[in-house]
Structure formats: structure tokens, C-alpha cells
Amino acid sequence: MGYKLLALDLDGTVVQSDLSIDATVRAAIAAAQAQGVYVTIATGRMFGATLPFAHKLNISGPLICFQGGLIRDTRDGAVLHHAPVAPALAAEAIQEALRANLFVLGYIDERLWIAERRPELDLYLSWHPERPEVVLAPNLAEVIARGGSAQLLEAIGQTCTANPPTKLLFVAEPAVVERECARLAAHFAGRLAVVRSHALFGELTALGVNKGAALARLAAHLGIAREDVIAIGDHENDIPMLEWAGLGLAMGNAIPAAQAAADVVIPSVSDNGVAWAIARYILNPT
């Protein structure tokens, strides 16, 4: 019996720095699927931002998004799991970020909610050709804390409700991200999960949310045992799924901590490491 489930991170794993996916990787994923392997995506991206990549890769079914805060099916939009950040905690985190002069985004109902427009928004959106809707709410922390009251939403020209955010993300220079992730992790210890997902991004989610927990949930949903799962990733946010999977593979371009957590280090994204791994462990196992 071979592996039955393959979970793939996107950026830095399947997706190149220019947001392209090499034809070799696409062909390898198709070959794995033809052999009966269930292939999914495990990413920090929103569901809507993940769909274009899923379509390019011909991947359908439940996808792990928002660092594991959401598992949603591409076929009918059904939500298998959703763990948003509690409003009070989200508001506190936004206030903490703004006090530190960080540019912070709240992901609410597939929209990006911000307290102010800054150059960091354009930097962030350069990774999002799907151009998600951006909602400007100067009193963002209050809007979320009060559950999107009609008066507050009317003041910013919004008629939709402000549901709790699935996650929060801040954008800053690498040294600032490292410092603030450590500070926020200490501040919210036992209340929120804080993770670095990119040199320029720090993220906050509900406690217990991570790609490893989400992958375990999806595998159970599919009736697939842990030892039959492969996970491939490259950054800090991928470590939980690399550790949980029966076989955790870190990209050659992965950060040292991810490589240390993995069972095997494979070629880098620029060398189509995912295609190499599929050939080695799924198509031609030895």
C-alpha cells in the first residue's frame, strides 16, 4: 500500500516567487491523482485566493486555508471546519498591532479589512492577483469587538455584518516580524496562536489552529491513516503538518526549522522539488 493523501503548501513549495507553477509539477500532481492519491492544498491564503491555484492544478475537494482555520470544499463550497478568532481577542490583537505601528489585516468573509491604507497593502496585494475586496474601517478593532453593529458599519459605508475574522496578518520588515511575533506570542500565550508565514508576514489565529491539526482533521474525514499522509512545505507555518504527517518533506529552500522538523529535505521550489518528491515516494517508491 502506498501513500493516499498528499498535502501541499503553495508559496515557496508549489508556487514560484513569480506566482507561476512549473509544468513539471502540474504533470506530477496529475500523475499522483491518476494513481489514486488524494491531493490537497494547505495554505495560509484565503479560500478565494487558493481557488485559482487549485484550478490550475486540477485539485478539487476540501482545501486547507487560513493556516488551518478553514477547510472548505471546492465542489460545493461546503465548510468542513471553521475556527475564527473570538471578537474580543481579535480586537485586542488589532489594538496591539496598531500600537506597535504595524500594518494589520483582518480576514473576514473573504474580504480584507484594514484600519488604514499604507504602502504595505500594495506589497501584500502583489501576491494576490485575484485582487480581493478591501474594506477600510478606521475603527476596525471596535467594529470587530462589537460584532459589526449597524451604526458602526453604516459609518464606513458597509451593509454587511462584520463576522469574527478567520485570522489576522501583519506586514513588516523581517526583523520587525521576528520581534513582533515573539512579543505577540508572549502577550497572547494560551489565548491565540502566533506564527511567521513569510519573512514579511506574521499571523494570528485561534488557539490550536495550524496546518497539522487541519490535516489530521481532513485525513480523518477522508478515512486516511496518518502513516499514509505526505506533507510538503517550506516555512514555520508548515512545521505542524510536517511533524504530523507520516512523511514530512521540507523544500530545499525551506527555513532551517522546517528542514529540521521534516523527515527528508527535497530539492528546492526552483528545482521542482514537489515533482521530485512525487516521483520518489508515490510514482516510483523503492
Handedness of CA 219, 222, 228, 230 (dihedral sign): negative
Residues 111 and 213 both lie in one domain: no
pLDDT at residue 152, rounded to an integer: 45
pLDDT at residue 137, rounded to an integer: 86
Structure confidence by residue, pLDDT tens digits, 63-107: 999 999 999 999 999 999 999 999 999 999 999 999 999 999 999
Single residue among 175, 206, 237 that ends a domain in this structure: 206
Handedness of CA 116, 119, 122, 126 (dihedral sign): negative
Residues 25 and 63 both lie in one domain: yes
Residue 67's CATH number: 3.40.50.1000
What the block records as the C-alpha cell of 106 is: 483582518
pLDDT at residue 139, rounded to an integer: 86
Q: What is the DSSP letter of 254?
A: S
Please state, as a whole number, how many other Cβ atoms lie within 10 Å of the Cβ of residue 263: 14
**Number of domains the chain is built from:** 2
Measured between alpha carbons, how far is residue 80 from residues 1, 14, 21, 76, 164 in Å?
A: 27, 24, 27, 11, 18
Residues 61 and 77 both lie in one domain: yes
Residues 117 and 220 both lie in one domain: no
Residues 178 and 216 both lie in one domain: no
Residue with C-alpha cell 494576490? Answer: 128
Residues 240 and 269 both lie in one domain: yes
pLDDT at residue 161, rounded to an integer: 55
Residues 57 and 133 both lie in one domain: no
Handedness of CA 196, 201, 202, 208 (dihedral sign): negative
Which segments of the chain have a pLDDT < 70? 1, 147-162
Residues 94 and 150 both lie in one domain: yes
pLDDT at residue 252, rounded to an integer: 98
Bridge partner list, 170:
104, 202
pLDDT at residue 151, rounded to an integer: 46
Single residue among 190, 206, 222 that ends a domain in this structure: 206
Residue 180's CATH number: 3.30.1240.10
DSSP-derived secondary structure for 162-205 = -PPPSEEEEE--HHHHHHHHHHHHHHTTTTEEEEEEETTEEEEE
SS3 of residue 159 by DSSP: coil
Residues 217 and 138 both lie in one domain: no
Residues 96 and 159 both lie in one domain: yes
Single residue among 155, 182, 206 that ends a domain in this structure: 206
Give the Cα separation of 62 and 20 in Å (integer).
22
CB of 27 closer than 8 Å to CB of 274: no
Q: Which domain covers residue 108, as residue numbers? A: 87-206
Query: Could you give the dihedral angle defined by the CA atoms of residues 38, 39, 40 and 42, in that order, rounded to the nearest 10 degrees?
Result: 120
Residues 95 and 195 both lie in one domain: yes
Residues 197 and 217 both lie in one domain: no
pTM of the complete model: 0.92
pLDDT at residue 163, rounded to an integer: 79
